[in-house]
Structures are given as structure tokens and as C-alpha cells.
Structure 1
Amino acid sequence: MFGEIAVLVNPAARGGRSRGLLAPVLERLRRGGAEVSVILGESAEDALERACTAVAEGPDALVAFGGDGLVHLAVQAVAGTEVPLGIIPAGTGNDIATALGLPKNALAAADVVARGRCRTVDAARIGEDEWFASVLCCGFDSRVNERANRLSWPPGMAKYLVAMAQELRSFAPIPFRIDLDGEVIEREAVLVAVGNTRSYGAGMRVCPGALPDDGLLDVTIIDAGPRSRFLRAFPRVYRGTHAGHPLVTMRRARKVTLEAPDVIAYADGERIGPTPLACEAVPGALRVLS
């Protein structure tokens, strides 16, 4: 790819271990003659503002160097525009990159960006102006996220395992109201996940049949049941083999509205806010280098 490439960077990805990859990635991108600039914000808000400014200037690509959280931020800047999104997976989970078939190796992913081949995929819009690319979750998993974000130790994914164990001791089923293209489902559930792609949380295949280019959102509902039954069923989410479990319902819809008391939604691993909220699949909202 010749022209101008803006690279949005999260230097804290993988606890800072990805910093050593940045210089070789930038060199690989420049090898084809591209003019490469680096965007590094002082905060998430500042980084988003800088990314939006860069996209408004019409670069040949905005490239996210980091994990799903940084890709989520980049999606806010490029969704609905003609600027392609490139991804250099340098985070812990990298579920979005995996869903798009991108290499796990950072230099190989840089080669994908340099080739400049675009693919059009869907994104999901929350309300009027927020987007997500992978999975929105509400319930047990989002409460685990809330708890983990309050912990200062242990680091990395271990923090989420500790938070999960703590949440299990006090978790109670949640009364959900779910609107799927006008069909309303009211029931107590443990969690509801809405997927544009199949996985979140570093490989949990919660919506195993989700495709990023079918114009639909996959909805997984795990019903309330005895805690022991949930504990037996939940590990199957990591393999995507929970589809046939009696507690699990899977549906597809273009537009999904969720209501549940005292529940915070997360999307692409990032905190969105309390329900109620509505999300909608927007076909072809993203151009990605893939």
C-alpha cells in the first residue's frame, strides 16, 4: 500500500510487552513507500479525538496496533467512512483480528496492511453513535468485567479468573427483557451476548455461528438454572460447544434491545454503560485490510 497510513498505538498492550514490536512493524509498513504517522493519545478520549482527526484527513488506512480495546476505539473513528481499518494484533485476546482471519504474528499482519486488500464487513451500532465489532455482553460476564476492573492484582487474565470466582459466590439470575426485531422475550437469565463475530474474552466462542458479513447479530441467552448446572455448562463456551445445552438459546436478529436492572454492558471488552440499550447490525459499515 502506497500513500499515507496512520497507526494508532496502545503502548500498554500486553502489559507493555508489545512495545518492542512497534519499530519493526513501522519499518515493514514504510518498506513499500508509504508515509506512516503514529497516533498516541494521552488518554482514550484523546486518542479517539486524534484518530477521528486523522480519518477526516483521508489517509489510505487507519491501523490499530494493540488489542481489542484499541480496535474498538479505531472502529469509532472509521465506521461508516471510506477509510480502511488495519489491525496489528498486539493485545492479550485479539478476538477481532482472529475473526477476520488475520495473522497472529505482528509482522505478518503488517504485510497484510501493506498489501492493501480490502474486505467489507458489518459493524454493530449502539444507539446513535457508538459501534462494536465483536461481542456485546450483559449479565454475569459483564459483572465479572466490572469486578475485575476494580482489582489491582493479579495482573493480566488472572485478574478475570479471580473476579469470576468472586462473582460466582454472590451472583443471582437477572430478569431480562430482550427485543429481537420486534419479538419480545422476557425471562431470567445468567447472561445475554450479542455477537457480530463469534468470540470475546480471549477466545470464548459465545456466539459460535456469528459471521461478520451476514447483516445479522447472533444472540446467545444462557437461562437461569442451578448454579452447579451453570458451572458445568459455562466452560463449554470456550469451545463453542454450548449451543445444544438445555439452558442455552441462540437467535439471530438485525436489531436487538436489552433491558435488565443494574446491569452494565460491555462491548469489545470495553465498558459501554447501563441498559436499556439498543444495537443494530449495519451491513458493510467497515472496510478492513484482510
Structure 2
Amino acid sequence: MPRAVVLTNPSSGKGRGARVRDDALPRLHGAGWTTTSLAGRDADEALDLARLAVAEEPDALVVCGGDGLVNIGLQALAQSDVPLGILPAGTGNDFARYFDLPLGDGAAAAARIVGGTTRRVDLARTGDRWFGGVLAAGFDAVVNERANRMSWPKGQARYNLATLAELRTFRPLSYVLDLDGVEHHLDAMMVAVGNGPSYGGGMRIAEGAELDDGLLDVVIIKPLGRMELVRTFPKLFDGTHVTHPQFERHRVRKVTVACAGIVGYADGERFGPLPLTIECVPDAVAVIA
């Protein structure tokens, strides 16, 4: 019988994680899967549990939570033969969106795992850390930093307030980019590095990025006025911002992003201050989809 380790963030999505897991397990058991259910008390313990689980070579490591827990799973699964299953239960769920997985419906997502096929996709690596989606390194990263310092309000409203607060004072940033060995000096509102196309719950900043092309999409939004930035922002949700004259994209195997005072965020997680060097690692992880 297939054996899955199910790693859950019970508090994900305001408690949705536990509910999604409890709906998914009967569907897995009914299909003949045996499961071991785990939950870490924090991100560090969850990563330890994920690595221990992968070392036992189950038929799948199934993560039940949002993009943060998916990212933890990727740290354990990268360059292994154990596939990743996803029970989406977070706020953004961008990695799950890449595979058109049912959001917030444990039974439906479990059915995809039971009946799905395994697909190997690329990951991005910086140092010893991996990400599957997009690394934010500009206005979007500054908003993340502010939001993480705020204790109120909760959820998406906190990021909306942080965005409004930063818009009042934000100015274009000075970057140095190394794109496959070619250095570029430029000013921009943001630079994003996409292995996948979206972040932030469906904002398609790297529209057109593919998970299995062996390349990263480096997106540059050149300087915009505040009102133009506000007008352009909604276009991120359908990818039509790519026609804006201040939009620029490069497809590369490796990029170094340098900008003073900016902290990079990937898959919604804090990856650390720039400069960061990111490379695409082809076929780095298997996903049940």
C-alpha cells in the first residue's frame, strides 16, 4: 500500500489547515494509503520533521498548509526521489495554483494525490535554500518587511495597510544585476526572480514563467510615479502588466541581485538581505499533480 507522511500547519489559513487535513485523511485511507500525521510546533521543528520523513523514503510527503509549509517541504525534498503532495490550506497557495489544485478542499485535493501523476519541475536555489515560486526584491519586499513588523491587523489587511504606508515615501531603488555573467546597473521599483509565475495569492508578476524550462524569469519594473504604480498594481492579477512600457524581463540560468537595504522574500518567507545569487536547478523536485 502507498505510504504518505502528512505534515500539517494546523494554524494555516486561520485554522483551515487542521480542517483540510481531517477532510483529506479519510479520502487517502479509502484509497488504500497508509498515513503518518505530523505537525511541528514551529517552522524549525516542521523542517526537522520533513527531513526525517524524507529520509524514510515514503511514497509521498504531503504538506497541508500554505506556501510557507510548501517551502519547508521543498527544503527537505529538493533533489530527492520522494514526491511532494499538496493539500492547500493557506492564504496565498501560489505553488498549489501552479498545478491547478483545489484550494481549501481537503477531500478534493486528496483525490488529486490518489489519482495524480508525478511531474518533475525546476526549483530556484540561493545558498543552501530553495524556493519554488518568486523571490521579491523591491517594493514588494519592503511591504513584506513592514507587514512583518505589524501586530495588527491580521491577514491580508495587514499587507494592504503596509502597501499604503510604503507608497507615501517609496522611491526607485538602485540595483546591480548580474544576469548570466552580464552586469547591469539600473533604477527600478522592484526586481523579482520567478521560478514560477505568481506570488501573493495570484499576483502574476512573472507571467509566462515555466516550471520546467531550466530558466529563471527576472522581472524588472522600472521607475513609476505613485499614481501610475497604483494604477498598474491590479494588472498583476491577470498578467497584463507585461505590456507596460516600464516592464522588462530577462530569462537566465543564474542571477545576482544587489540593492542596499533590501531584504529578499521568496515563497513569502524571509530569505535575507541582498545581494543574493539565485540559480535554476532543473528537475529538482517531483510533484504529484
Tell me the TM-score normalized by structure 2: 0.97
User: Are 2:23 and 2:106, in contact at CA under 8 Å, matched by a contact in 1?
Assistant: no
SS at match of 1:225: coil
Q: 2 CA distance for matches of 1:194 and 1:210?
A: 10
Q: 2 CA distance for matches of 1:168 and 1:278?
A: 28
User: Are 2:261 and 2:273, in contact at CA under 8 Å, matched by a contact in 1?
Assistant: yes
**Are residue 194 (structure 1) and residue 193 (structure 2) matched?**
yes
Paired residues for 1:1-290 under 5 Å: 2-104=1-103, 105-127=105-127, 129-290=128-289
The offset of 1:250, in angstroms, is 1.1
The offset of 1:249, in angstroms, is 0.6
Q: 1 CA distance for matches of 2:213 and 2:59?
A: 26
Q: 2 CA distance for matches of 1:101 and 1:256?
A: 28
Task: Supply the RMSD in Å over aligned alpha carbons.
Answer: 1.2
Q: 2 CA distance for matches of 1:226 and 1:34?
A: 55
Q: Tell me which stretches of 4 or more aligned residues in structure 1 moved more than 3 Å.
A: none
Q: 1 CA distance for matches of 2:101 and 2:13?
A: 18
User: Are 2:188 and 2:223, in contact at CA under 8 Å, matched by a contact in 1?
Assistant: yes
Tell me the TM-score normalized by structure 1: 0.96
What letter corresponds to residue 74 of structure 2 in structure 1? V
The offset of 1:235, in angstroms, is 2.4
SS at match of 2:242: coil
The offset of 1:116, in angstroms, is 4.9
Query: What percent identity do the matched residue pairs reach?
Result: 49
Deviations 1:234-276 (A, max 9, x none): 3221221111211111111111110000100000011100011
Of 251-260 and 111-120, more deviation after overlay is shown by 111-120
SS at match of 1:234: helix
**Residue correspondences, number:** 288
Deviations 1:10-30 (A, max 9, x none): 111111134222212111111
Q: 1 CA distance for matches of 2:36 and 2:135?
A: 31
What letter corresponds to residue 277 of structure 1 in structure 2? L
SS at match of 1:243: helix
User: Are 2:4 and 2:33, in contact at CA under 8 Å, matched by a contact in 1?
Assistant: yes
The offset of 1:230, in angstroms, is 2.3
The offset of 1:101, in angstroms, is 2.3
Q: 2 CA distance for matches of 1:19 and 1:50?
A: 17
Q: 2 CA distance for matches of 1:149 and 1:227?
A: 23
The offset of 1:233, in angstroms, is 2.1
SS at match of 1:112: helix
Q: 1 CA distance for matches of 2:116 and 2:29?
A: 13
What letter corresponds to residue 123 of structure 2 in structure 1? A
Structure 1 residue ranges without an equivalent (≥5):
none
Q: 2 CA distance for matches of 1:235 and 1:186?
A: 28
Structure 2 residue ranges without an equivalent (≥5):
none
SS at match of 1:86: strand
What letter corresponds to residue 241 of structure 1 in structure 2? T
Q: 1 CA distance for matches of 2:250 and 2:121?
A: 20
The offset of 1:173, in angstroms, is 1.4
